[in-house]
A and B are shown apart, each in its own frame.
Chain A
Amino acid sequence: MALDDDEFAALVAEHDRDLRRLAFRLVGDRHAMDDALQDAYVKAFRALPRFRGASSPRTWLYRIVYNACLDHLRRRRTYAQLDEAVATPARGDAVAGRAALASALAALPVDQRGAVLLVDVQGFTYPEAAAVFDVPVGTVASRLSRGREALRAALAPTREGAE
């Protein structure tokens, strides 16, 4: 199955919000998110003629976006001598509990962050997430396990407070 330019535009429009969520939480700030997504969309468009439908268009697009975010992080580390991106809570995260959760998410290693976002937030199956990350399903499970553990700990006080 190939995608033409119009189908590509529709694909991006359909998933842009979810991809913004993924990219923002991976690279840590809005400007970096936009840069990474722009790079990714251009790369995806460039790769359209080679898309044969071996994976779903959504998985294919997510894989490109995820890799673009990793590239962005590597580049930033290289040139700005920054450590792993740690997102400061966004304005909308300032509501009770969200800031802690956002900080806990940002503190996760990027591979665990990606796994949680794809599977628990976006609803990808394990095999789909494995295809995005280009790793075995077991690796996805392992990343999820560790990531969830840290996030549940961050959620716990909020839950208790709400009860």
Chain B
Amino acid sequence: MTEGLERDRELGAALLELEVPEHRIDFDRELRGLLALERGRRLRRRQLRWAAVPGLAAAAIVVVLLVGLPHTASRPSSASAARVQAKVRAAFAGAHALTGTLVFATAGRRSTAKIAMDGRGDLRVEPAGAGTAVYDAKTGVVRSLERSASLGGGPLFASVTTGYPPSGPALAGDFTQRELTGVVRSLLAARDPLVEPVTLDGRAAWRVTLAVEPDRRLFEADRVEVTVDRESGMPLRVVWAARGTTRASMRVEHLRIDPRLPADQFELEFPRGEVLHQDLGYRRVSLAGVRPIVGYEPFVPRSLPAGYRSAEIGAAREVSPAEGGESPPRDAVEVSFRRGLQQFVVGSQARRDGARDPLGGPAGERVTLRGGALDGATAEVVIDPRAVPHLWVATPRLLVFVAGDLTRTELIDVAESLQRRTR
């Protein structure tokens, strides 16, 4: 080591004598609370990053979950459960826009957020008192006005984040994240949904009751009730209960399906002042524009599940290491398809450190693909409460995946129809 690369111990010792302040009194308590929220977010993110409906639209989340509920042919309620699932699936596949207000209540705390989304994948989320965020799916840009302090409060600060992948962002209000995460896991794991006809606010509805395994880290519910509107197939209310007592509830108020949205619904004007900019790395391109960025031709399915149509294509030479993450993807591509408010993507990225599930899911079912560009390859199909349904394959150079609002059969069908295409 040269002299120029040595430590100046004398200077260091002098600086070491300078005061190091203690944390403020509430620092540890606040941090524990924030980390508890993050535990919920972490699991939710695994499930929802590729979910049919991006963002934190809790209503949509619940719908997706219901669609994913397993059928139970041997149970008395199975026919009704299948009917509810079919209704909900149709509602989301057929809708082109949705607006509403989510009202969440637990332990004396009440939070609300207005949400709006459309079939392009655009989102607007307005948690009361916390600012506004809008996502333009076509350009992959989020504009937000949010509170800057780590614990809320303080001035609003404007930021623009460009380069989102077509799978979109998670626009968040805390209240929708923590408890819903537990529900996500519970609902997907549920095997025997009980369906009863009920009336809610004068509307005919179904109440789906699920006995669930409590997740002590997230929310100690042992029963979840989801009330679905019979006419629209949309969820209206979710109740989380433990030992017979309601612990939390969420209502979807002012729900409107296919409303006429204002022209500026997914736009956000900033006040005067500076704007923080961040770029996540993805660029919206045509199929022909993928190769110049990543150096290979993208995978595109020859056939699509009924009702799906092609949407955005995103490619990134380097993906920004979001929030300190390590080993962000390189040479990454996402080709997105939408059906109503549902979405799935075909993605690929450079294989860097072995054959690893690019979505970070648990181990899945291994199947051999028959047909298409991946003919003969071994794929892993992950249908698990801890992950959004997906399938992934490791080729010598790439990790390829299909993920989103698809059944196991649809995942495999799409994967077996993949081709390398430039147009």
Contacts and interface: CB of A to CB of B under 8 A. Distances in A.
Contacts, number: 138
Contacts of A90: 18-19, 21
A92 B22 CA distance: 12
A27 to B, nearest CB: 11
B12 A123 contact: yes
Contacts of B324: 43-44, 46-47, 60, 63-64, 67
Interface in B1-41: 4-5, 7-9, 11-12, 14-24, 27, 30-31, 34-35, 38-39, 41
Contact of A46 (B24, B41, B157): B41
Contacts of A45: 35, 38
B23 A42 contact: no
A60 B325 CA distance: 9
A120 B9 contact: yes
Interface string B341-379: 000000000000100000010000000000000000000
A148 interface: yes
Given A78-B273, A123-B7, A34 B23 contact: yes
Contacts of B323: 43, 46-47
Interface string B172-202: 0000000000000000000000000000000
Nearest to A120: B12
B106 interface: no
A30 B8 contact: no
B51 to A, nearest CB: 17
A104 B9 CA distance: 18
A33 B150 CA distance: 11
B185 to A, nearest CB: 16
A11 interface: no
A75 interface: yes
A50 to B, nearest CB: 4
Nearest to A39: B150
A91 B188 CA distance: 56
Main SS class of interface, A: helix
B150 A75 contact: no
A52 B353 contact: yes
A79 B273 CA distance: 8
Contacts of A52: 326-327, 353
Given A50-B326, A50-B327, A67-B324, A35 B14 contact: no
B277 to A, nearest CB: 10
A38 B34 CA distance: 9
Contacts of A51: 325-326
A116 B27 contact: no
B326 A41 contact: no
A113 to B, nearest CB: 10
A56 to B, nearest CB: 12
Interface residues of B, number: 45
A151 interface: yes
Contact of A98 (B18, B24, B275, B325): B18
A21 B16 CA distance: 9
A31 B276 contact: no
Contacts of A67: 324
A56 B157 CA distance: 33
Interface in B175-234: none
Contacts of B31: 38, 41-42
B263 interface: no
A47 B20 contact: no
B19 A93 contact: yes
A21 B157 contact: no
B325 A50 contact: yes
A6 to B, nearest CB: 12
Contact of A92 (B4, B8, B18): B18
B415 to A, nearest CB: 25
A20 B20 contact: yes
A107 interface: no
Nearest to A22: B20
B270 to A, nearest CB: 12
A125 B5 CA distance: 8
Interface in B281-299: none
A41 B32 CA distance: 10
A33 B24 CA distance: 10
Contacts of A43: 323-324
Contacts of B22: 20
A34 B19 contact: no
A79 B155 contact: yes
B178 to A, nearest CB: 14
A38 B30 CA distance: 8
A76 B107 CA distance: 34
26 contacts: A17-B20, A21-B18, A30-B21, A34-B24, A35-B149, A37-B27, A38-B27, A38-B30, A41-B31, A41-B35, A43-B323, A45-B38, A47-B324, A49-B46, A50-B326, A79-B157, A79-B273, A90-B18, A92-B18, A98-B17, A105-B15, A120-B15, A123-B7, A144-B8, A151-B11, A152-B11
Interface of B: 4-5, 7-9, 11-12, 14-24, 27, 30-31, 34-35, 38-39, 41-42, 46, 148-151, 155, 157, 273-276, 323-327, 353, 360
